[in-house]
Amino acid sequence: AQTVTQSQPEMSVQEAETVTLSCTYDTSESDYYLFWYKQPPSRQMILVIRQEAYKQQNATENRFSVNFQKAAKSFSLKISDSQLGDAAMYFCAFSAPPASKLTFGTGTRLQVTL
């Protein structure tokens, strides 16, 4: 069974600053995928960024990037130039074929201040 751990229940960042959200996971699978999902208050979950485990290069999507450390089973999310709209719950998630069901962490609530 897979487990995903997010050890930061809450984080705060000032607008325009950079923040890093932590995630560790445990699995015996060799073929898997990691995701960061964003859940704004009272709104639906949306994908922020994904990482294939077989790729060494860290994924980036505009202001969002990951630091994927496969040996350490660590998958952190860096948000640069934080914006007020980034305020949300962020969930780290794991999936592996064939089911590709998502296993989520407990989430990190990100607050963005002026």
* Residues whose CB falls within 8 Å of the CB of residue 20, separated by 6 or more in sequence, listed in order: 67, 76, 77, 78, 79
What is the distance between the alpha carbons of residues 35 and 51, in angstroms, rounded to a whole number?
Answer: 6
Stretch that binds other proteins, among 13-21, 62-70, 79-87, 92-100 (CB under 8 A): 92-100
Stretch that binds other proteins, among 17-25, 63-71, 80-88, 104-112 (CB under 8 A): 104-112
From candidates 7, 16, 46, 81, binder to other proteins by CB under 8 A: 46
Minimum CB distance to other proteins, residue 108 (Å):
10
Q: Is 47 in the site for other proteins (CB under 8 A)?
A: yes
What is the distance between the alpha carbons of residues 110 and 53, in angstroms, rounded to a whole number?
Answer: 26
